[in-house]
Structure 1
Amino acid sequence: MDTLTALTQRVSVPRLTDPGPSDDQLRRLLEAAIRAPDHGMLRPWRFIVLRGEERQRLADIMEWRLLKRQPDADQGARDNIRGKALRAPVIIVAVAEVTENHKVPVWEQVLAVGAAVQNIMIAAHAMDLGAMWRTGDLANDESVKARLGFADKDQVVGFVYLGTPAAPSKSLPDETPDVFLRELPRG
């Protein structure tokens, strides 16, 4: 698949199944990630790759967080939250390990990791893998960051779910860029 096709045809795939990406495919996805734009060459991206039973560790963190917020959560809620860590064969946790008080502001460092995640998404599509970028409250919880091995200053940018599409992907609306163009105000 050529680059422009991958860019213009990529869609998020929420339902994923086995097989997940091979070791070689994972390496290529991460190689694509670390080619993202990076003002100051700070290399703020950090990745945790979870597959197989390793996903249970993320499920443990998710359940622990649920119980911290809702100590009386029933077994159904606990099973539901744990299942979120198991809905794809592979999850890449992408984190911006930021350098504070640098000439490159923290927000630019986080954007660099966002660009790295976008590269993963496009590369996955080009390899006929399904991918879904998820965040949610989990990504902004300081205690979750700590359990993942990161400091409060760092930012979880996403949980990238990877696998084989379990169903045909929905197509995106057929839009043209003109809808999103704005003119610079005069005055």
Structure 2
Amino acid sequence: MNEIAQYLSTRRSIAIPALGQPAPEGETLEAMLRIAARVPDHGKLAPWRFILYRGDAAVRIGVALRELAERREGPLGEMRRDMEEKRFSRSPLVVGVVSRAKPHVKIPEWEQVMSAGAAAMNLVHAAHALGFGANWLTEWVAYDDEAKGILGIAPNEKVAGFIHVGSPVDVQTDRVRPELADIVSEAAAPPAAA
């Protein structure tokens, strides 16, 4: 097995509490984002974009999300309040992968959406390949227009994922993976024409 196949066969998501400093920055972050953008993209539309959430901005976004939740639900318990405030600062870097798929004369929107998903997966691979850990989530804020506004995402855009990135601080064990017999089948030939 070559190095790339070995890497792909052992890659795993790292739990967010196990993602610490440092996060990629500078040339390393640029390399990670360039790798993320090297995905199938029919028509060269770049039907996705990246938003970096980190530092003070991530903290302020968390406060705004907590305030939004409190306006809707009333006072939050201590754990929920803390969770909302730290939603984008619990890892050193969060990269929002935003789908900007739209009608096109040749390229179906579904293909554009899948391209955004591929960009998110490439971002996860790039983070791991460059020595960092990553975890791909969405959570409620990805599906709420008011929360998306706080996050700099337009109502006509969709969140492919929020990729949490940092340096792994713990050794992680792998999860159970599906058996191939449960997910692979051979195509059946259609019946012969009469």
Interval of TM-score (by shorter of Structure 1 and Structure 2): 0.7 to 0.9
Determine the C-alpha separation between the residues in 1 that align with 2:101 and 2:169: 36
2:169 corresponding residue in structure 1: 166
CA positional deviation for 1:179? 4.1
TM norm structure 2: 0.85
CA deviation vs aligned residue, 1:22-77 (integer Å, no higher than 9, x gap): 32221111000111111221101111112222211331342133124312324442
TM norm structure 1: 0.88
- Indicate the percent of aligned positions where both proteins have the same amino acid: 32
Superposed counterparts of 1:11-90, under 5 Å: 11-14=12-15, 15-90=18-93
Determine the C-alpha separation between the residues in 1 that align with 2:22 and 2:67: 28
103 and 129 in structure 1: CA distance in 2 versus 1, 3 angstrom threshold:
same
Moved more, 109-118 or 141-150: 141-150
CA positional deviation for 1:138? 1.2
Q: Contact 1:59/1:86 (CA < 8 Å) preserved in 2?
A: yes
2:114 corresponding residue in structure 1: 111
Determine the C-alpha separation between the residues in 1 that align with 2:52 and 2:88: 12
Determine the C-alpha separation between the residues in 2 that align with 1:118 and 1:154: 19
SS at match of 2:106: coil
Match status 1:130 vs 2:133: yes
Determine the C-alpha separation between the residues in 1 that align with 2:64 and 2:185: 43
Determine the C-alpha separation between the residues in 2 that align with 1:71 and 1:102: 46
Determine the C-alpha separation between the residues in 2 that align with 1:174 and 1:151: 36
Moved more, 112-121 or 150-159: 150-159
SS at match of 1:86: coil
Structure 1 residue corresponding to 2:101, chosen from 87, 98, 102: 98
Match status 1:10 vs 2:20: no
Determine the C-alpha separation between the residues in 1 that align with 2:14 and 2:130: 14
177 and 100 in structure 1: CA distance in 2 versus 1, 3 angstrom threshold:
same
Structure 2 residue corresponding to 1:156, chosen from 159, 162, 167: 159
CA positional deviation for 1:105? 2.5
What is the alpha-carbon root mean square deviation over aligned residues? Answer: 2.2
148 and 80 in structure 1: CA distance in 2 versus 1, 3 angstrom threshold:
closer
Moved more, 65-74 or 11-20: 65-74
Determine the C-alpha separation between the residues in 2 that align with 1:63 and 1:102: 41
Bigger radius of gyration among the two:
2
Structure 1: state its 5+ residue gaps.
none
147 and 137 in structure 1: CA distance in 2 versus 1, 3 angstrom threshold:
same
- How many aligned residue pairs are there? 187
147 and 84 in structure 1: CA distance in 2 versus 1, 3 angstrom threshold:
closer
SS at match of 1:53: helix
Determine the C-alpha separation between the residues in 2 that align with 1:57 and 1:31: 27
Where does structure 1 differ by over 3 angstroms across 4 or more consecutive aligned residues?
172-179
